[in-house]
Amino acid sequence: MMEASSHKVEKMWIYLVIYVLLMALLIGTVAASQFDLGRGNVVIALGIAVAKALLVILFFMHVRHSSRLTWIFAAAAFLWLSLLLGLTMTDYVGRGVVPSASKGLVASSPEQGHIPNLPEGP
Amino acid sequence: MPESQTVFEEDPLVAPQFDDLDQQNDADTLGMWAFLGTEVLFFGGMICGYMIYRRLYFTAWHSGSMIVNNFRFLGISSGAWNTGVLLTSSLTVAIAVRAAKIGQRRVLLWMLAGTWVLGATFLGIKAAEYTHEYFEGVMPGISLFHPDSEISADLATAAKGPKREPALIDQFRLFWVFYFFMTGVHAFHMIVGLGLFAFLFIQAYCRRFTPEKHMQVEIMGLYWHFVDLVWIFLFPLFYLVR
């Protein structure tokens, strides 16, 4: 029998370290978005989002100390999400309705497709 | 059954269907995760639609994302500020849950109040963004493509231009529907969260929580962290990925 999660009191420094890591990841993702890395931008932005999500789920939401059954429920949510996204995208890309990743992302260069002149921010 | 009534009165913490407090607490956590699972798929469906149309209408999505990310405070995009605000509020929630567990009432009250203020700050920044976007003329159904707006003129030129992209205006409009719907549903969750945390603050102020009876704080904390998680994904999708 696992120790009930409600008894476990996390040490304060763990929360602070996780917070510093999250803020560092935030600064990292904003900094990376300043550079044009082509396809790399998407990979870095979403990779960092997944890393942040894992830190929040495991430490702030205490899944680390939760019962096995809670692990299964949490994992099931993301398994179903991956089925939703994975199978839908496979269908759209496979039928050629949506351009494949390489083609779609190359179109980000300004010469392909017209990008309206945008007003400057305040 | 006088016997079962006696048992119930002896231990008001544990509902009669549970063996003990640990089992009840685990059931509380599990029930919340079941709900959060449905929320993951609720937002997942919208993210899925967003990803498909991003591939299909890349030019419109790219232009939209530039406008979203263009609203800045001190040179940093408002989305990045809001991510920082929400991550900080997740820290205060985590400390609040810990304080409730070990019975630190003052810390709990301060952290609940801090969370509330940070949540309100998030909504304030979001409201400023929406106002900015309203005056840019991109709000679907209300201010979208106001004849005076610059974007409207640009898109009209694009539609007649050498590239001939007459559908671009519709694609651009779709981006803004996704943007306002997804961030709006997220903001709605924030508003619900503020209500819940105001309720928790009053409960804590009235000394309703003890180390044995702290699960309300823990469960509402899970909700708050989840709303933070959703934003962690909305931020790169709308602001960073171009």
Query: Which residues of chain A lie closer than 8 angstroms to B235, CB-CB?
Result: 49
Contact A115 B59 (CB under 8 A): yes
Dihedral angle, C-alpha B70, B73, B79, B85, nearest 10 °: 180
Separation CA B98–CA B112 (nearest Å): 12
The ipTM value here is: 0.81
Nearest CA-CA distance, residue B1 and chain A, Å: 31
Nearest Cβ partner for B225 among A5, A56, A92 = A56
Per-residue pLDDT of chain B (242 residues; tens, 9 = 90+): 455 555 545 567 888 888 888 888 888 889 999 999 999 999 999 999 998 888 888 878 888 888 888 777 777 888 889 999 999 999 999 999 999 988 888 999 999 999 999 999 999 999 999 988 888 778 777 665 555 556 666 666 666 655 555 567 778 888 889 999 999 999 999 999 999 999 999 988 888 888 888 888 999 999 999 999 999 999 998 888 76
Q: What is the largest CA-CA distance in chain A?
A: 63
Nearest CA-CA distance, residue B42 and chain A, Å: 9
**Domain residue extents for chain A:** 12-92
Write the pLDDT tens digit of every residue in A11-50. Answer: 888 899 999 999 999 999 888 888 887 778 888 888 999 9
- Between strands B76-77 and B72-73, the pairing is antiparallel
Write the pLDDT tens digit of every residue in B74-119. Answer: 778 888 899 999 999 999 999 999 999 888 889 999 999 999 999 9
B165 strand-pairing partners: none
Nearest of B115, B122, B111 to residue B232 by alpha carbon: B122
CB B224 within 8 A of CB B111: no
Write the pLDDT tens digit of every residue in B141-166. Answer: 766 555 555 666 666 666 665 555 55
Query: Which residues of chain A lie closer than 8 angstroms to B85, CB-CB?
Result: none
Query: Which residues of chain A lie closer than 8 angstroms to B91, CB-CB?
Result: 15-16, 18-19, 60
Query: Which residues of chain B lie closer than 8 angstroms to A4, CB-CB?
Result: 22, 25-26
